[in-house]
Amino acid sequence: MVLLEAGKLEHRKFFSVWHLPELRGVEASDEHVTLGALTTYTDVRRDAVLSREFPMLARAARETGGVAIQNRGTIGGNIANASPAADSPPALLAYDAEVELVSALGSRRIAYSEFHTGYKQTLMRADELIARVRLRRPRAGARQFYRKVGTRRAQAISKVCFAGLVELDGGALGEVRIAVGSVAPVPLRCRRTEELLKGRGLDDALMKGALQDGIAHFQSVQGKEE
C-alpha cells in the first residue's frame, strides 16, 4: 500500500495470500517452533510459547508499527519486504531461523542468515512464496536481549536494532548469536564478535573487546553488501 501510494508500484491485479491456510499457524516440536508466513505480530504477541521462549521476537512484534500494523502485518511479509531496518530480522537471526520457500516445483529450506543478499535483494525466486519460518528453541536458561532504538515508542523506523542470545556452558559462554538491523544494507549476523565471545568466561575486558570489535565490524560493512 505504501509503494502504491508513493507511485512506486504499478496499479494492476494483485494476488492476496491472506486466505491461504497452508501459510498459517504456529507449531512447536521438541527442537523447533515453526511459524506460518502469515503469522501476524499480534499472533506472536498472543502465543504463549513464543512469548515465553522467544521474548526477542515478542518484543520486536510489540514494537513494530502500531496496533493496526501488528494486526495485519505478517512475519513473512516483513522478511520478504527485505528492509534492512525491519524489526523482526535481528531476532530471527539470533534464533538461527530457517526459511521454507515453496513454489510449483516443490519446497526448499534455507538458512535465514543467507536469505538477504543485498539491499532489498533476497534469495527468493519470483515463483516462490515464503511458507514458514523455523526457529531453534533456545536452551533453558539462555539469556536474550533485544533493543530497538527509534524516534518514538510506536510507528517509528529503527535507527538501530539489536538482538543477542547466549547459552551458558558451565561458567563460560556457549552458543552466542548476535544480530543487528539498520546498520548495513542487510540485517547482519555478527559472526566475528560471536566467535570472539564463545567459550570464554564473561568479564569486563572481554565485553569491552567485543563491543569495540562489533563497532569496527559495522563501520567496515556500512555501505557494502556483506
Ligand X SMILES: Cc1cc2nc3c(=O)[nH]c(=O)nc-3n(C[C@H](O)[C@H](O)[C@H](O)COP(=O)(O)OP(=O)(O)OC[C@H]3O[C@@H](n4cnc5c(N)ncnc54)[C@H](O)[C@@H]3O)c2cc1C
Binding site for ligand X (CB under 6 A): 2, 17, 23, 37, 64-65, 69, 72-74, 76-78, 80-81, 86-87, 129-130, 155
Burial class (CB within 10 angstroms; exposed 0-12, middle 13-18, buried 19+) of 205: exposed
How many CB atoms are closer than 10 A to CB 169? 12
Give residue for cell 570489535: 213
Q: Using the CB atoms, write b or e for 112-136: b if 16+ within 10 Å.
A: bbebbeeeeebebeeebbbbbbbbe
Question: 182 with 160: CB under 8 angstroms?
Answer: yes
- Residue number of the CB closest to ligand X reads 77
3-state secondary structure of 88: helix
Work out how close the CB of 89 gets to ligand X at its nearest, in angstroms, rounded to a whole number.
8
2 SS3 class? helix
- What's the min distance (Å) between Cβ of 166 and ligand X? 24
Cβ of residue 65: shortest distance to ligand X, in angstroms?
Answer: 3
Closest CB to ligand X among residues 34, 193? 34
Least distance (Å) between residue 103 CB and ligand X: 10
Q: Which is nearer to ligand X, 2 or 205 (CB)?
A: 2
User: Please, which residue, 56 or 86, has the CB nearer to ligand X?
Assistant: 86
The CB-of-203 to ligand X minimum distance in angstroms stands at 35
Q: Of the two residues 99 and 176, which places its CB atom closer to ligand X in the complex?
A: 99
Question: 26-28 and 116-118 as β-strands: parallel, antiparallel, unpaired?
Answer: unpaired
Which residue, 157 or 206, has its beta carbon nearer to ligand X? 157
